[in-house]
Structure 1
């Protein structure tokens, strides 16, 4: 049976693939972490990549993955949004123009349902 961390990575795989500067990695004796920065095959170019967050639970990983989805959604719809950047991307939830609110709410609910399905499974 797949563990909750791997299952979360699996359901967010398309979002993670699109993300250029947010990655999930497993570090031996640390666990799953998020990496922020550009990754490259050439080692010298990985200097800008840092560990952003160590996931102490699948719930914390899920929150991080959902924040990353929000960033992806923000970049895809940037021209239609009043704000051009965020300190806290979760503020996007409250600042959507009416024209985008329904679509956004539907999409985020789908992600939240998928997350709940994974987190509520018995280990």
Structure 2
């Protein structure tokens, strides 16, 4: 089993909890090219390699994500969908502007994905 991991950038923090197979993303990820997402892609690939039955992406604390980041998440969702052995749970907040449309689009890529919205405060 993988150990917990953290990827820290100037304005964001990504942490992985192996006990719950949850990737938690917080902060803002903008002004980043595809190369800057390499560590996140590597983490997601490594988690998939463990063949868990479910992977949770908790994006509720991610205030901004640019198009390169959306591409990384889309690619990951397609890879999981193609394996047919894992389920993805996407946790989002309707209070964060980009999430409603983007997470809905990710769910379209994998209709079996579970989309959970944080209750509005």
Q: Is TM > 0.5 for Structure 1 vs Structure 2?
A: no
TM-score, length-scaled by structure 1: 0.25
Larger radius of gyration: 1
More strand by proportion, 1 or 2?
2
TM-score of the superposed pair, with normalisation by structure 2: 0.25
